[in-house]
Structure 1
């Protein structure tokens, strides 16, 4: 077993200029983009799942919140899958995200 830590250029394909991370407390969800230029929040919207007794009795809002979070996760996964096919287009998208911040 190789216990030597790899440097970032060894761990990731050089065509990838960014990676996503998902941080969650279980109720609060944060989607973060890590690029060579910095670290950015991928959304201005807060993502929360309310786990109160009322939310569990009438699960309409709970289902809606979970669906929104899953849609974001699926979007991030699709983005990473497509980025290997179109690295130039993805780099442009990242530059647009950075400009908005």
Structure 2
């Protein structure tokens, strides 16, 4: 039995405003914001974990990179947990996310 992929409005409630996505190769990390209008990505912002021998010997830079990525992930999780059900507040939050994503694009 072949199952077709679900469309966004089938997978989520019809009135969702935005969904986050995380794409990673293990060393490169991209954070995505999908709204009903567009998709925004942090491709211009550098989220990279270097795994060279020098970094493994002195793990200060490795710790900074991992901490930076985890801070973004925790921020995304906190945002989704605290998302309000009131439409006006949701709309404002989405606009804030889009403006931040647009700044990151440039």
* The two structures share one fold, judged by TM-score above 0.5: yes
Question: Given the two structures, how large is their TM-score scaled by the length of structure 1?
Answer: 0.81
Structure-2 change in CA distance of 1:85 and 1:69 (3 Å):
same
What do you get for the CA RMSD once the two structures are aligned?
A: 2.5
Which has the larger share of strand?
Answer: 1
Q: Which has the higher contact order (CA 8 A, sep 6+)?
A: 2
Consecutive unaligned residues in structure 1, runs of 5 or more:
none
Shift of 1:13: 2.0
CA distance in 2: counterparts of 1:93 and 1:99, whole angstroms: 10
CA distance in 1: counterparts of 2:6 and 2:28, whole angstroms: 31
Number of positions where the alignment pairs a residue of Structure 1 with one of Structure 2: 101
Question: Given the two structures, how large is their TM-score scaled by the length of structure 2?
Answer: 0.78
CA distance in 2: counterparts of 1:72 and 1:32, whole angstroms: 11
Equivalent in the alignment of 1:40? 40
Consecutive unaligned residues in structure 2, runs of 5 or more:
none
Equivalent in the alignment of 1:52? 52
- Where in structure 1 do 4 or more consecutive aligned residues deviate above 4 Å? 84-87
